[in-house]
Structure 1
Amino acid sequence: MDATYARPTVTELRLSAFKSHRGAVFPLAPLTLFTGASGSGKTSALQVYEALARLGAGDELGEVFEDPGSCVPEWACADAQGRRGFRIGCTVDGPAGPVHLDLAVQAEPELRVVGERLTADGQLLLSTALRDPARRTVQAAWHTAGAVPVTRAPLPDDRMGTALLPLRVAGKTDGQLKVLAAAEQVVVALRSVFACDPQPHRMRRPVPAGAGLLRRGCDNLASVLYRTQSECANRHRQLVAAARAGCAGPVAGLAAEELTDGRVRAVLGRGSGSGTPVERLGEGELRYLALALVLLTGPGVLAVDPAGEVPPAMQSLTVLADGFDRSLDPRQARELAALAAGICGQGHIRVVGTASDARWAGELAGVSVVDLSA
């Protein structure tokens, strides 16, 4: 890829052998929507992105893939030892240039990493392989370019080796520094992810007031509004404007009001002192409001785990939104996508989502649609 990225950014997903996908390569724009018929594999792309993100944060395989057998393609045949698995990967662009990560995972009979490759500029920086199935390790080799050209050591077979390199590589030679730069670029890009799936039935309940972070299901939306309405007036005005564009009836404001029991609930202001508690809104309106809040608030109020040792200016947040248009009518979907395109165009937030029908997106600048039915 020719573009130079100041912030580490995942620009490509590879589902080499994962569920229904075989040899699939998906370039990712600042705002990418996967669309297609049911069963075409839209959600699989987001599952792979989130899995890589969690592995990049240091999670174990068993925590990330709770049902690994479901990830194995149906066409994948077992070998003589009954082993089957899947292969995934990504490309991360950034100051170190394009860095490619590819991961081979054995799902059956035991879940383990059986191979990993980290490459940049056509050079293999890290490779791992399962040498002895009786041991819970893989043999790793990483680029050194010193007195010893390659360093070899065992790594655990239940974690992604790239995420462990910053703790293993000394950084004394030019080769080691290159390995560290590539690994850190991948880890920073993968860790800055917020997987969002608003749950309207849970968003209708009043919640305790507090300074908590917005959760994946957005069930504590009222609590976050209670915080943001006083902390960032400009973004709150933008949120009110978004609500006005996507909710039925007049919208004069959006606020969290405190109840007598200390809990808070979100209320749409209708003008002249009247308001509508959000529990009375439809599912589409609630999902619309939740996703708009995610886009407009950013990592400061979202439950994400970015790389704390990296300045915020060097990180970009990626929002994963499975069912971006779920329960939304075409007008709401267009308004939300237009808001997302504008936010993504500023460079601090990226969005990867799925949509059941993205025909409305063709008229919007800044929206990249990947049609898996084609």
Structure 2
Amino acid sequence: MTELCPAGTPLPPDAPATGIRSGSASAARGVRSAGPVMTELRLSAFASHRGTVLPIGPLTLFTGASGSGKSTALRAYEALARLGAGDPLAEVFPDPAAYVPEQVGPDAQGRRGFRIGCTADGPAGPVRLDLAVQAEPTLRIVGERLTGGGETLLTTALRDPGRSTVQAAWHTAGVVPVTRAPLPDDVLGTALLPLRVAGTTEGQLRVLAAAEQMVVALRSVFACTPQPQRMRAPVPSGEDRLRRGCDNLAAVLERTHTQCGQRHARLVAAAAAGCAGTVTGLGVERLRDGTVRAVVEREDGHRTPVQRLGDGELRYLALALVLLTGPGVLAMEAAGEVPSAMQTLTVLADGLDRDLDGRQRRELLALAASIGAAGHLRLVGTVAEEAAAAARGTAGATVVDLCP
């Protein structure tokens, strides 16, 4: 089976990209990021994708017809991010068979799987990570390759299917040119290297620099899926790290209102541009039971509870809040050993334009492009063609059309 890499064989090179039309592919040039960032996502054999290579810039939007694989591409990105954070393979892919290309049959040993990869750029230069995952009969990583500077820095291969380990080899460039050791087959080997490599030779230092760059880029991700129906209810005060569904929006607004006046002022300005009626402020009200609810402040002193806002207004407000905050406000485990000023957060938003009208889409894209240009935050999302058409006229946006 060529897609999965039989045990003991190296990962094959990626096939050329197919079925993609990219607009403004050079939009990322000239934007200096604060820290390591993803510049490419590769779906060599993943669900409906074969040999797909996707550029990733400060503002990247996947579009295309239904079934073209927009959400699947974002799912692969999030999966890599979770693996980079050390999550076990079974938690990242609870239904792994769903990502095996349908046309791929089992090999002589009954194995089927998928392949994904990415490139992270930063101080160590472009660093590539490629993974071969066996989905059946047992879920495991059967091949991993980390490359940078024209060198293979880490490779893993499944030598003994009866053991839950893979044989790893990483570059040393010392008295012993390569170090070999077993690693677990259910976690990303690259994420384990900082714990296994001593860093006493020039080669080991290159391996560490590449691995740490890849891990920081992968971990600096927040997947956001605002749920308007859950954002309307009051929430306990103090839960001030925004969850993926943004249902604790009110508690986070209470925090930003008191702790970060400048960002809160920008959020109010965004709300005024994207919400109906006149908006002069955003605040919270404490209810008798100790919970808080978010309110929109009007010019005449009237306050509108957010539960009365439309779905589009709530999604727009939540996404604007995410873009205007950082890892310290979002429910994510960023690379804590790296100062926040040296990190670049990437927001993943499937269905970014869902329920938004034309004005809200334009305002949100302009906000994302403006913040992305500063180098501290990037947005990767999926949109319908109407929103993609508007984004093509937005400076700094990369629109990738996935063809079925």
Alignment TM class, shorter chain as reference: over 0.9
Q: Where do 1:38-57 residues align within 5 Å? A: 38-57=66-85
1:270 partnered with 2:298: yes
Distance 2:195 2:304 in 1: 53
Q: Secondary structure at the match of 1:300?
A: coil
Q: Deviations over 1:6-44 (max 9, x none)?
A: 511111100000000000111111010101111100011
Q: Secondary structure at the match of 2:107?
A: coil
Q: Secondary structure at the match of 2:193?
A: helix
Candidates 164, 170, 178, aligned match of 1:142? 170
Distance 2:293 2:29 in 1: 48
Q: Deviations over 1:301-348 (max 9, x none)?
A: 111111111121221110001111001112211111111110111110
| Native 8 Å contact 1:6 1:94 kept in 2 | no
| Native 8 Å contact 2:117 2:131 kept in 1 | yes
The 1:210–1:95 alpha-carbon spacing in structure 2 relative to 1, beyond 3 Å, is same
1:61 partnered with 2:86: no
**In structure 2, what is the equivalent of residue 340 of structure 1?**
368
Distance 2:36 2:158 in 1: 29
Query: Which residue type is aligned with residue 392 of structure 2?
Result: G
Distance 2:309 2:240 in 1: 24
**In structure 2, what is the equivalent of residue 364 of structure 1?**
394
Candidates 141, 149, 152, aligned match of 1:121? 149
Distance 1:152 1:322 in 2: 40
Candidates 174, 178, 184, aligned match of 2:212? 184
| Native 8 Å contact 1:203 1:221 kept in 2 | yes
TM-score when normalising by structure 2: 0.91
Query: Which residue type is aligned with residue 370 of structure 1?
Result: V
Q: Where do 1:215-226 residues align within 5 Å? A: 215-226=243-254
1:197 positional shift: 0.2
| Native 8 Å contact 1:40 1:372 kept in 2 | yes
1:296 partnered with 2:324: yes
**In structure 2, what is the equivalent of residue 355 of structure 1?**
383
1:373 positional shift: 2.8
Distance 2:293 2:350 in 1: 26
**In structure 2, what is the equivalent of residue 233 of structure 1?**
261
Ranked by relative contact order (alpha carbons within 8 Å, sequence separation 6 or more), the top structure is: 2
Which sections of structure 1, spanning at least 5 residues, go unmatched?
A: none
Which sections of structure 2, spanning at least 5 residues, go unmatched?
A: 1-27
Q: Secondary structure at the match of 2:324?
A: helix
Q: Secondary structure at the match of 2:304?
A: strand
**In structure 1, what is the equivalent of residue 189 of structure 2?**
161
Query: Which residue type is aligned with residue 139 of structure 2?
Result: L
| Native 8 Å contact 1:5 1:93 kept in 2 | no
**In structure 2, what is the equivalent of residue 76 of structure 1?**
104
**In structure 1, what is the equivalent of residue 114 of structure 2?**
86
Q: Deviations over 1:43-88 (max 9, x none)?
A: 1111111111111111110010000000101111210111000000
Distance 1:70 1:215 in 2: 26
Distance 1:2 1:235 in 2: 27
CA RMSD of aligned residues (A): 1.3
TM-score when normalising by structure 1: 0.98
**In structure 2, what is the equivalent of residue 100 of structure 1?**
128
Distance 1:147 1:373 in 2: 51
1:168 positional shift: 0.6
Distance 1:103 1:72 in 2: 13
1:171 positional shift: 0.8
| Native 8 Å contact 1:31 1:344 kept in 2 | yes
| Native 8 Å contact 1:8 1:315 kept in 2 | yes
Aligned residues: 374
The 1:260–1:348 alpha-carbon spacing in structure 2 relative to 1, beyond 3 Å, is same
Distance 2:332 2:97 in 1: 28
Distance 2:396 2:202 in 1: 39
**In structure 1, what is the equivalent of residue 270 of structure 2?**
242
Q: Deviations over 1:261-313 (max 9, x none)?
A: 21111111112111211101110000000000001112221111111111212
Query: Which residue type is aligned with residue 393 of structure 2?
Result: E
Q: Deviations over 1:161-208 (max 9, x none)?
A: 000001111111111111011000000111111100000000000011
Distance 2:401 2:80 in 1: 22
| Native 8 Å contact 1:253 1:268 kept in 2 | yes
